[in-house]
A = this chain, B = another copy of it.
Amino acid sequence: MLEIPELRQEPCTKRWVIISPQRAKRPHSWGKEEGEKLQLPEWDASCPFCPGNEAQTPPEILSLKDEKGWRVRVIPNKYPALSPSEEPIQFEEKDPFVWLTGKGRHEVVIESPIHNNTWGNMGVRQMEDVIFSFLERYRALRDDKRVKYICIFRNHGERAGTSIIHPHSQIIATPIVPEQVRAEVEEARRYYDDRLRCAYCDVARKEREEGKRLIMESEHYFVFAPFASRMPFEVWVIPKRHNPSFDYISREEEKDLALVLENLFRAFYEGLSDPHYNVVFHSAPLRDSCEDYYHWHIEVLPRLTVQAGFELGTGIYINTVYPEEAAEYLRKYIKS
């Protein structure tokens, strides 16, 4: 068991982290203390996302239905971070300040009619519907020329920033490229220019080769705890095929992604007792070709610890669990 802290650098982003296990509980204790599988009903009369309460949400943008009713609904967020107004975006300037009217899209993907479903227990069929909906909306939002970036994310649990329990993800389309995304793409470009290879391809190949941080491998994806994990049990899902953008995935990759996410999140659910987490899809900016060097992927950030002043002030996360131990632990809950 390694006990001396390490400073590790993420090869793709060049972000440093401190891995300091002395400050940690041992991995096997996480499951017992953190998260608790909530005992929830299948239907909650007071939940705006439950069947029967559809009138409490804005009209739906997309819905997947069968004879039993809807399986997934996509709606505009009732309290959007960015306004969907069609008016042109205004850029304002009053030296040294610049700002824009906050136009964009903010949608909610209600992932199941069943109130107590979550990615950890919904099963593969439902997960396929969720991913299909993400793709449909990503492709539709891409057509709006004012949109420069699309972020698909999922907040699970209060510590991850959600207040609504009913299973849902969110999509925000922004009229700017976030500077963190610019930095990520820029680092990937530098790596490519130095070696004529994609950083993410290199890292994924290495993770498979070393194996100790690998959690699972499917036909189309690698799943591993990244070398410089920022948080205990951080997980990356990286497609094997080099491809900058989520919406360019094939039908087979789409199907396989459902299998992979179902397996991974069931492992989280069982192994860590339904921990709070964020999921973020990292995909290339929309109107900025970076085919050679960017590689879309999914980052899963469990919120078992709190980011404090040091993290906020320096960007260096202090992680108390070695990713090698996290991977070893999670592998036990993966179905092969």
Q: 0/1 per residue, A224-250, Cβ < 8 Å to B? A: 000100000000000000000000000
Q: Considering the complex, which residues of chain A in the window 300-336 have a beta carbon less than 8 Å from any beta carbon of chain B?
A: 301, 305-316, 318
Most chain B beta-carbon contacts within 10 A, residue among A16, A202, A310: A310
A159 to chain B, nearest CB (A): 7
A162 to chain B, nearest CB (A): 7
Most chain B beta-carbon contacts within 10 A, residue among A97, A174, A278, A282: A97
Q: Find out whether the CB atom of A96 lies under 8 angstroms from the CB atom of B153.
A: no
Q: How far is the CA of A206 from the CA of B301 in the complex (A)?
A: 38
Contact A315:B180 (CB < 8 A) given known A80-B5, A310-B153: yes
Is A129 part of the contact surface with B, judged by Cβ < 8 Å? Answer: no
Q: How far is the CA of A79 from the CA of B23 in the complex (A)?
A: 6
Q: 0/1 per residue, A88-118, Cβ < 8 Å to B? A: 0000000011111110000000000000000
Kindly specify which of A7-15, A48-56, A138-146 makes contact with the partner chain.
Answer: A7-15
Most chain B beta-carbon contacts within 10 A, residue among A162, A278, A312: A312
Interface size, chain A (Cβ < 8 Å): 73
Please give the count of copies of this chain that the complex contains.
Answer: 2
Contact A5:B102 (CB < 8 A) given known A79-B22, A313-B299: yes
Q: Find out whether the CB atom of B310 lies under 8 angstroms from the CB atom of A151.
A: yes
Q: Which of B9, B174, B181, B278 contacts A312 (CB 8 A)?
A: B278
Q: Find out whether the CB atom of A161 lies under 8 angstroms from the CB atom of B309.
A: yes
Q: Which of B15, B149, B227 contacts A179 (CB 8 A)?
A: B15
Is A121 part of the contact surface with B, judged by Cβ < 8 Å? Answer: no
Counting from the closest, the 4 A-B pairs by CB-CB distance are A161-B308, A5-B102, A180-B315, A153-B309
